A and B are shown apart, each in its own frame.
Chain A
Amino acid sequence: MTAHVPAATLTAYASGDLGADDAMAWPVEAHLENCPRCQDRLAELVTGPVQEILAVARTAVLAESRSGPRPARRRRLRRLSYRWLSPSVIPWALVTLIAVAAAFLLDEAFSARSSVVLLLAPVAPLSGLAVAWSRRWDPAWETVSGTARAGLDLLLRRTVVILLTVLPLLAVVGWRVGANPALWLLPCLTFTAAALLLGGLIGVSRAAALIGAAWMLAVALPALVMVRLPVLVQPESLRGWAVAAVALAGLVVLRAGDHRQHAGRN
């Protein structure tokens, strides 16, 4: 676009002297399509009838833009929440909040007893995982499970949100009862990874229920009855928890394919 349309040519074009079949008209139009300056020059040159047509068109366009459908709002935050949250997350969050708060109150009331907060920490994320990817709790399960992102991609997003809810909660109550942060953090992460790993084989809901029940029956309940903190939630076990958390997390990534298709059971 080096040269603009010469004034004489533009005048001829505006008055219609340059016919549509004229070889001269084609390059003029091609230039006009992309040159705002020549468009302005042309607008000043057009005659009465053309101006009238333009005015009518302008009114019609403006009327349409006022009465037509409104442009969709930007919904960035909502979109973000759909991509990361599991749809049944609210009831779950309430249940977890109540459980952690109850454990904290028990610890405050009977400080001589074994720490209920530490005993609850490993299983705190499990109820969330149970509803995160479940045929029963997710109404759109079937529609979603046939999509490209179904599988570990979606499951990990939902798990991250669950941990982001549970961990700060545990951090607050853990600090109030004066527990070593690693003592609730590492078991919590280990159990999350274990539920995901086992979930690839038997379904995440089932795995979370199984692991949670096993911990409650084998460790938490005896500890509460005997009023003694088991070795599993004492500092000498931390090394073991750390190894288990890293190993299980690695296995979850290695076995990512397990989550890709329904195994017929969850």
Chain B
Amino acid sequence: MVRAVRADELAPSTGAWQVEATGLRVKAGSRLAVDGLDLTLGPGVHGLLGPNGAGKTTLMRALGTVIRPKGGRLHLLGRDVTDRRSLRAVRARLGYLPQMFGFYPKFTVRDYVEYMAWLREMPAAAVPAAAQRAVDRVGLTDRADSRLKSLSGGMVRRVGIAQAIVNEPDLLLLDEPTVGLDPEQRVEFRELLRDLGDTSCVLVSTHLVEDVVAACGDVLLVDQGRLVFRGVPADLARLGAHDGAGDSAAERGYSVLLRDHRSAA
């Protein structure tokens, strides 16, 4: 899509990474769910794995600028987002699908995606075409004018993905995007992910090891609020070749990693 380049896009940023976190601490309620996490992410698709309660969702919410970190350093797209004044500019280039994707039942798919594009301050003239393209990309073209309350869970999830990608974000955060998708849709979604990862930084939080193996360029493992492993999907298969619990080599590798980390700690 051809569009004008804004001046702030040409301004030099302080870092080469879309995400730069050092010693990040984020609270979930009264608990420090993310506690001293260091992370740098560049372009590509990154898979975030970890057991329930490891702090994945809290981390995603902090990266999505929904909650404010309690401590540490967090730079997104080269700007310090602990400084409230830089939030607006960063948020316009951000896409975020929360784990609990709430929506307005009376909105149509198109209404909702256009509304999110407007909230992300896309130029008004570009919104209708961008919304159509996002809806097409998640395969909901024929349901574009259906109300959200009439859609199935998997379709709503795809609307969630459409609203997250409508502004062609430089940093895309997807929390459990494949929940409710059937196997065929999941395959299509992985294709879309690889496509998106060509130009932007995509972080996918999931509990499905197979999603990470199929679509991600690298694997991040989080446990107890910290990053405990970083590698490529092949590492998981290698670790799980002869050891661990699970249905596939990668799943076994994941369980081995988690077990080794916990016994070392």
Residues of A participating in the B interface, judged by any CB pair closer than 8 Å: 69, 72, 75, 78-79, 82-83, 87, 138-151, 154, 257, 260-264
Contacts and interface: CB of A to CB of B under 8 A. Distances in A.
Max count, chain B CB within 10 A of own CB: residue among A79, A141, A147, A262 = A147
B107 interface: yes
A72 B103 contact: no
B144 A262 contact: no
List the 5 closest pairs (A to B, CB-CB), nearest first.
A139-B102, A147-B119, A148-B91, A148-B92, A146-B64
Nearest to A263: B68
A148 B120 contact: yes
B205 interface: no
29 contacts: A69-B141, A72-B132, A72-B145, A78-B111, A79-B118, A139-B103, A140-B102, A140-B103, A140-B104, A142-B102, A143-B98, A143-B102, A143-B160, A144-B116, A145-B66, A147-B91, A147-B116, A147-B119, A147-B120, A148-B121, A149-B119, A150-B91, A260-B84, A260-B87, A260-B88, A261-B65, A261-B67, A261-B68, A261-B84
Contact of A79 (B67, B96, B104, B114): B114
B17 interface: no
Contacts of B111: 75, 78-79, 82
Interface residues of B, number: 41
B229 interface: no
> Which of A87, A154, A261: most chain B Cβ within 10 A?
A261
B104 A143 contact: no
Contacts of B61: 142
A181 B78 CA distance: 52
B203 to A, nearest CB: 14
B135 to A, nearest CB: 10
Contacts of A72: 110, 128, 132, 144-145
Given A78-B111, A142-B61, A146-B91, A264 B84 contact: no
Interface string B220-241: 0000000000000000000000
B85 to A, nearest CB: 7
Interface of B: 27, 61, 64-68, 84-85, 87-89, 91-92, 94, 96-98, 100-104, 107, 110-111, 114-116, 118-121, 128, 132, 141-142, 144-145, 160, 163
Contacts of A151: 88
A263 B144 CA distance: 35
Contacts of A142: 61, 66, 98, 100, 102
A72 B87 CA distance: 33
Contacts of B94: 146-147
Contacts of A69: 141-142, 144
A257 to B, nearest CB: 5
Given A75-B111, A154-B119, A260-B84, 7 more contacts: A79-B114, A82-B115, A83-B118, A140-B104, A143-B102, A148-B121, A151-B88
A263 B160 CA distance: 25
A257 B82 CA distance: 12
Given A72-B128, A143-B102, A262 B92 contact: no
Contact of A149 (B64, B103, B121, B163): B121
A138 B104 CA distance: 8
Given A148-B91, A261-B68, A143 B84 contact: no
A146 B116 CA distance: 10
Contacts of B118: 79, 83, 149
Nearest to A143: B98
Contacts of B128: 72
A139 B85 contact: no
Contacts of B119: 144, 147-150, 154
Contacts of B102: 138-143
B69 to A, nearest CB: 10
B111 to A, nearest CB: 7
Contact of B163 (A138, A143, A145): A143
Contacts of B88: 148, 151, 260
B107 A82 contact: yes
B96 A143 contact: yes
A257 B84 contact: yes
Contacts of B104: 87, 139-140
B156 to A, nearest CB: 12
